[in-house]
Amino acid sequence: MNVLIVDDEVIIRTGLSTVIQWEELGFRLLPAAESAEEALERAPAEHPHIVLTDIRMGGMDGITMAEKVKQMLPDSEIIVLTGYDDFAYVQQAIRGGIGDYLLKSSRPEEIIRAVMKAKQRIVSKWDARKADNMQRRAFRSRLLERLATEGIDDADSLEQVPQVLAKLGLPHLPEASAGVCLQVLLISVQGWGDSRAAGSLLQFAVDNMLGELLPCETLRRRHDIVVLLRAEGRDAGALRSKLGRISDKLKCVLFTAAGSRVTGLGQVPRSYREAVYTASFRGFAGTETLLAYEAVEGREGGRTVCSKEEESELAILLKNGNPIELRHFVQKALDGEIADAEATPVSLKAYSDSLVVAAHRWLERTAAALGMPQLPRLPEQDPAKRAQGDKHPGDGPGAEGQGDLQENLYLRLRVIMETYYQYVSEDGVLYIKRAIAYIQDNLDRTLTLQQVAGHVHVHPNHFSEVFKRETGVNYIEFVMRERIRRAAEILSETPVKVSEVAKKVGYEDIKYFSQLFKKYTGQTPTEFRAGREGKQ
């Protein structure tokens, strides 16, 4: 807090400034003022929270100055410095708003006590205002959510809407709002990272800009922002332009689902329901960032079952075990359905599920034909969705982006493909043997788990689990052992320098290679070679 000392006597100013360690008490001492006029001139810019002032000064007196300071800075606290002769005057001033008074002869501890009391009074006012603001914001949020999602029909609440949701500029008489044009938007934002903190900060920034650019009231939720817009005289182009400004300014991506325009407060829930429905078509929007209810209403749904030809093509892809071809199949299949002018999120979800069901049937038939025991239970839910948190009202089939739709279906089919190669194919771990052969042929190169898993077309996580089960050691340990085994062979059979041996098995750092070699063989490379030569 800022403290300002005002006195026309230099000895008083200096004494009060130096006798108390203001910074240690948590205060910032402003340069002392020599007169009431100087204090008033500086107050707007320096914003003193506590003013210590003499009563009698040349020019304006301290009481008059205190009244003017309180007009400018209502939360400020004034402590007057007085002599014995001014008691009656000071007591009257306290009733007029002066916070406290001190004798000029007061000891430092008395001054500190008075200043700390003044600070406590200021903090109490701030806390009370903060609590009041929180209550107001909470009430506003509840009122806006109720108005949008279920509607308001009681007279008391309707009378509060124009005042509480003031940015809409509604008439103060509820009946006069019947002709006002309103519209609900649901806005989702992306672009500042996947963490909840980053998402919350981005939402806050978008919310602020919405309030600056549009006559609207907003409600931030975990996954989206509900916007109640005063829509009169604004076309979709103007709205798209302002949303684009926000996106460009904040370097983020906005997707906006717009309900239809309605007239009057009573119709707002209908616009909200339409916005929720429209938001479920996000996967159909492609690069479009503003989707209106009128663009999707009346759709009857596309096909819900894949064709026999698609089922046969999918079976061949799953048996071939090529993830890249599987991904292309998924993209082509979903792009075709999304392009259907009648398709809906529900029909697209059903079509996607039918592909998964077809893949399950193929896997079960193949396992039965080979006399395999019962297969492990496969996940029923989309792998990408199992890690997601709570859903919000805009969620539903298709609420995610088009890329997410494709990824979810691809991952579900990929699990079936890998299950086939693990349990059903003629050699369930054939790819592990291929991986080992690849490792042994490339010991002089970088060999990451992801690289080797990609070579045999298996997901890295699944590859890691099966590799350890089949070899008895984890991937990194296996590669190290193979490299030391090969190094031992080279040392035994050739006169190649140790540094060259290290490079032939993938190690540039000779010291590190020697340490590993000794760890696995009990000897350094030089000792190992000498021992072999001695036996010959």
pLDDT in tens, 14-36: 999 998 999 988 999 999 999 99
Q: Single out the residue of 103, 96, 125, 102 nearest to residue 115, CA to CA.
A: 102
CA 201, CA 347: separation in Å to the nearest integer? Answer: 35
Give the CA count within 13 Å in the CB-facing half-sphere of 291.
Answer: 27
What tens digit of pLDDT does each residue of 186-220 get? 999 999 888 888 889 999 999 999 999 999 999 99
CB 461 within 8 A of CB 476: no
Q: pLDDT tens digits for the chain (536 residues)? A: 999 999 998 998 899 999 899 998 899 999 999 999 999 999 999 999 999 988 888 888 888 888 899 889 998 999 988 775 666 666 666 655 677 888 888 899 999 999 999 999 999 999 888 888 888 889 999 999 999 999 988 888 888 888 888 898 888 766 667 788 999 999 999 998 888 888 899 999 999 999 999 999 999 998 899 999 998 776 788 899 999 999 999 999 999 999 999 998 999 999 999 999 999 999 888 888 999 999 999 999 999 999 999 999 999 999 888 889 999 999 999 999 999 999 999 999 999 999 999 999 988 887 776 665 566 666 555 554 444 444 444 444 445 555 678 889 999 999 898 888 776 665 555 678 778 888 998 999 989 999 998 887 777 887 888 888 888 899 999 999 999 999 999 998 888 899 999 999 999 999 999 999 999 999 999 988 887 766 65
Q: Single out the residue of 71, 270, 91, 53 nearest to residue 183, CA to CA.
A: 270
Q: Single out the residue of 165, 121, 120, 128 nearest to residue 143, CA to CA.
A: 165
Average pLDDT, the chain: 86
Which residue, chain included where needed, has tokens 């904040």? 250
Pairing of strands 216-220, 253-258: unpaired
CA 523, CA 530: separation in Å to the nearest integer? Answer: 10
- So what's the pLDDT on residue 363? 87
Question: 435 is written with which tokens?
Answer: 């991986």
Per DSSP, helices labelled H in 292-344 are 308-320, 323-338
What tens digit of pLDDT does each residue of 129-173 get? 888 888 888 999 999 999 999 998 888 888 888 888 889 888 876
R_g of the chain computed on alpha carbons: 38
Q: Single out the residue of 127, 81, 76 nearest to residue 100, CA to CA.
A: 81
CA 165, CA 304: separation in Å to the nearest integer? Answer: 44
- So what's the pLDDT on residue 386? 44
CA 29, CA 521: separation in Å to the nearest integer? Answer: 73
- CATH fold, domain 2-125, is Rossmann fold (3.40.50)
Angle between helices 108-149 and 268-279 (to 10 degrees): 80
Domain 150-295 belongs in CATH node 3.30.70.270: yes
Neighbours of 25 (CB within 10 A): 14
- So what's the pLDDT on residue 411? 92
Identity of the residue numbered 483: R
CA 457, CA 322: separation in Å to the nearest integer? Answer: 6
- So what's the pLDDT on residue 450? 92
- So what's the pLDDT on residue 147? 93
Give the CA count within 13 Å in the CB-facing half-sphere of 161.
Answer: 30
Q: What residues contact 111, with CB distance under 8 A and at least 6 apart?
A: 16, 20, 52, 102
- So what's the pLDDT on residue 387? 42
Phi/psi at 325 (nearest 5 deg)?
-65, -35
CA 504, CA 497: separation in Å to the nearest integer? Answer: 11
CA 526, CA 535: separation in Å to the nearest integer? Answer: 15
Which residue, chain included where needed, has tokens 């309707």? 158
CA separation (Å) from 424 to 245, 351, 472? 55, 26, 22
- So what's the pLDDT on residue 467? 87
CB 350 within 8 A of CB 304: yes
Q: Single out the residue of 313, 363, 360 nearest to residue 333, CA to CA.
A: 313
Neighbours of 535 (CB within 10 A): 6
Q: Which CATH number fits domain 430-535: 2.60.40.1250, 2.40.420.20, 1.10.10.60, 3.40.50.300?
A: 1.10.10.60
Residue 278, burial from CB neighbour count under 10 angstroms (0-12, 13-18, 19+): buried
Strand, coil or helix: what is 139?
helix
CA 399, CA 255: separation in Å to the nearest integer? Answer: 11
- So what's the pLDDT on residue 534? 60
Domain boundaries, the chain: 2-125, 150-295, 308-424, 430-535
Exposure string (b/e) for 382-396, b if CB count within 10 Å is 16 or more? Answer: bebeeeeeeebbbbb
CA 228, CA 168: separation in Å to the nearest integer? Answer: 8
CA 219, CA 229: separation in Å to the nearest integer? Answer: 12
CA 438, CA 61: separation in Å to the nearest integer? Answer: 93
Strand, coil or helix: what is 33?
strand
Identity of the residue numbered 292: A
Furthest-apart CA atoms within the chain: distance in Å: 116
